[in-house]
Structure 1
């Protein structure tokens, strides 16, 4: 039961991160989604895009805390840690 709740939170956190990246690109980038991601990989600012997308994880994290669902909040926190590790990998690669 606990593993299922953490997995749900992890899934929601990863989805929120991807949605944040998508919304940022669609809102502020003059290029298409594919073009922006390609240039981000080539020019080395993909980590910044991931970090901006991770900001959206605040919403489900605090909603789960407010609804007294701490294990789902832990899943969102794990998704945020995965984003942070991914950023570090891209920065030092």
Structure 2
């Protein structure tokens, strides 16, 4: 049970990082490293983390879904709890960087 929660937590952190990276890759005029340095200097790092957390929503509902189109799968509530914990951590990081 604890292993499943940790798995969901790590996947939530990874999804948050991938979401942030994809946002910067598609919508920023600079490279990822330059954008991160600029975000810390100019104070919009919390916004980037918050936009990256959108993928956690998809991952959370994926773990709770029992049917995807014609395919059936087992619901994974413990992994969903881990993703929720990662999302709460992201929210705390946003609060830290914004306030």
Same fold (TM over 0.5): yes
- 2:17 counterpart of 1:18: yes
- Extract unaligned runs of 5+ from structure 2: 66-73
Distance 2:98 2:62 in 1: 31
Query: 1:79 maps to what in 2?
Result: 86
Structure with a larger share of its residues in helix = 1
| Secondary structure in 2 matching 1:68 | coil
Output aligned runs, 1:1-93, within 5 Å: 2-66=1-65, 67-92=74-99
Highest CA radius of gyration, 1 or 2? 2
Structure 1: which 4+ aligned runs deviate by more than 2 Å? none
Query: 2:71 maps to what in 1?
Result: none
- Extract unaligned runs of 5+ from structure 1: none
Indicate the RMSD between aligned Cα atoms, in angstroms: 0.7
Structure with a larger share of its residues in strand = 2
Give the length in aligned residue pairs.
91
CA deviation string 1:6-60 (max 9, x = no partner): 0000011000000000000000001010110011000000000000000010111
**1:91 Cα deviation from its structure 2 partner:** 1.5
- TM-score, normalised relative to structure 2: 0.90
